[in-house]
Structure 1
Amino acid sequence: MPALNLLDGKTVLVTGATGFIGTHLVRRLSQNPGIHLVLLTRKPLTQSQYGITSVAAALDQLTPETWQAAGIEKIDVVFHLGAFIPKSSDAINLVEQVYRDNLLGTRSLLESLPTPPQQIVFASTIDVYAPLPNGVALSESSPVEPGSLYGASKLFCELLIRSYARQRGCNCAILRYGHIFGPGEGAYKKLIPQTIQRLLRDEAPILYGDGSAERDFLYVEDAVEATLRAATSEIQELGAVNIVRGGSSSIRSITETLIQLTGFSGSIQYLADKPNGQSWRFDSIKMQELLGKWKLISLEEGLKEEVNYFRSYSQ
């Protein structure tokens, strides 16, 4: 039975509902009219929709009265995606934002819930891991040693969620998202959106070194599928589970694919004096074992969807 059907009749809260992954998750959840969706956003939504309750509040300001004012007496499933997520490497150690949104925000969310939910799905990150030798596949058993305040905050929140779930007798799932891509990630200074935007401006893509560094990219709809499956798992304490493709491609080959998809007639600009950078490989065995297998959207098809998104967005 599809995971979406198993949520029928439940009240489902999504924090970070207007974020990159959150937007795609809400779209999928909206396909089941039997789900009562509660969307937590920092700013009020401009449009209302039948069966959806919108709550505008900052995570760290949540109290039991927040839900009472919205007429919400219980929440069955919590998708906790809301957080301060750095949009560039310069922001990974911003103390105020990390502490307020991730630490205080998660604590306030848990303390404010009207009743203990049946399931909590927490969006963590691969940034909790220690760096590995170049090209070595990272798995859930790899050493944990965050190199930033952002990664450390996510690791702390993983423990906080687990502790809450054990004390309240509810299920929880800890998902460590890898390199997720797709329509809607334009606000982030990442390889794929930045390269697409350059190509659509008829500017040459820029790669460090020879572009041989590898990345493991998972399309956002597959990340959502994994998230929904985690929410309907019968395992009391699921994870941590890395949400990854399990197959890496070189930055150069990804860029070449984007050149073909955009019709750019120029060539790649290589900065030979810059280091190639870290290669990332991931082991997806645990994800497949715990969440099941499904046909993943191919890298090329996902890139095509994102190119079309940027094209339509710029028109």
Structure 2
Amino acid sequence: MKVLITGASGFIGARLLDAAIGAWGKENVLALSSMKNEKCETIVYDLQGDGLALADSEVLLLHEVTLLIHAGAFTPKSAAESNDIERCNQNISFTQQLMNLPFANLKKIIYISTLDVYAPSALISESSVALPATLYGWSKLYCEQLVSVHAHEKSLSRQILRVGHVYGPGEEKYAKFLPRAIRAIVSGESVELYGDGAELRSFIYIDDVIKAIFSAVDLTDNVGVINIVGGKALSIKEVLDCLISISGKDVPILTRVFAGVKRDLVFDTQLMNEKLLPVEKDFMSGLKEEYDYFAKMK
């Protein structure tokens, strides 16, 4: 098996690349990236230049690929970036170009999508209505269809994984509540809490995401989309209390007015647990690993 991984410099992609090299050997792993990766052979592209125009030697490399894991995409680092028109459109154009590459022996595509495609619901499952609230969500949903249509036309196996609320070492790239709170606590600063912190969130540890993706490689059941997300919902305030407990510090909390729309994000993970990930990492142990990681970075 020869696997091509996109997005190898991202939060999920970087951990995925390491796991793939460990499992299959670097000679069987190929990265498609905007920058050269020293860990394995890399096809470097420039979306501002020739895009995915390949040299003859790179085309020959693609001919060996039997599995494509498409994890590369513009992912908003904060809510303010979720409607960046140019970068969201790049998700679509990049995926379109990727599907048009001259794969000769490709057998399966795994597409890493997002939970941001869903409309608000008390309990979200794979059968919930897909109605994104942002351009980012729409771009990922459209890419799901691009991949699915291409796979059907080429008689390829494909698996769509909607991943969300991932935490763990490497999350410092994002300006979300969890990494911001950890960074503040480690630095001895106060933590900002907007509103009462009662909104529910479901977190999944980065290594569990990688395990689920690896399980999807061997999945032969045609089960459709699978959500990759934590099965236990905690309030933002509960998460903060866990962090303070782990730190052992007296952490001042600054309560801010929350002007947005409150929304709980709770998921039915039965399909994920049945097909890909029977057991999830304990949240407190995973949170401690992330806290210790941030502490070492200080």
Q: Same fold by TM-score, threshold 0.5 exceeded?
A: yes
Equivalent residue number for residue 15 of structure 1: 6
- Change in Cα spacing, 1:68 to 1:274, as seen in structure 2 (3 Å) is closer
**For 1:204-233, what per-residue CA distance to the aligned partner results, in whole angstroms no more than 9, with x for missing partners?**
211122211111000011011111111211
Equivalent residue number for residue 25 of structure 1: 16
Equivalent residue number for residue 288 of structure 2: 304
1:292 Cα offset (Å): 5.0
CA distance in 2 between partners of 1:276 and 1:152 (Å): 20
RMSD over aligned Cα atoms: 2.0
**For 1:115-142, what per-residue CA distance to the aligned partner results, in whole angstroms no more than 9, with x for missing partners?**
251111101111111122xxx1111111
1:58 Cα offset (Å): 3.6
- Change in Cα spacing, 1:266 to 1:148, as seen in structure 2 (3 Å) is closer
Q: Percent of aligned positions with the same letter in both sequences?
A: 33
1:61 Cα offset (Å): 1.2
Contact 1:67 1:114 in 2 (8 A): no
Residue 283 in structure 1 maps to residue 255 in structure 2: no
CA distance in 2 between partners of 1:44 and 1:226 (Å): 26
Residue 161 in structure 1 maps to residue 161 in structure 2: no
1:313 Cα offset (Å): 1.7
Counterpart among 238, 252, 264 of residue 253 in structure 1: 238
Counterpart among 126, 129, 134 of residue 140 in structure 1: 126
Q: Classify the secondary structure of the residue corresponding to 1:269.
A: strand
Equivalent residue number for residue 77 of structure 2: 87
Equivalent residue number for residue 156 of structure 2: 170
Gaps of 5+ in 2: none
Equivalent residue number for residue 7 of structure 1: none
1:252 Cα offset (Å): 0.9
Counterpart among 50, 56, 59 of residue 44 in structure 2: 56
Gaps of 5+ in 1: 1-9
1:25 Cα offset (Å): 0.9
Contact 1:67 1:113 in 2 (8 A): no
CA distance in 2 between partners of 1:58 and 1:275 (Å): 37
Counterpart among 17, 26, 35 of residue 43 in structure 1: 35
Equivalent residue number for residue 78 of structure 1: 68
- Change in Cα spacing, 1:247 to 1:156, as seen in structure 2 (3 Å) is same
Q: Which amino acid aligns with 1:20?
A: F
Q: Which amino acid aligns with 1:204?
A: S
Q: Which amino acid aligns with 1:254?
A: V
The 5 Å alignment of 1:203-282 reads 203-235=189-221, 237-271=222-256, 277-282=262-267
- Change in Cα spacing, 1:66 to 1:300, as seen in structure 2 (3 Å) is farther
1:287 Cα offset (Å): 1.2
- Change in Cα spacing, 1:234 to 1:58, as seen in structure 2 (3 Å) is farther
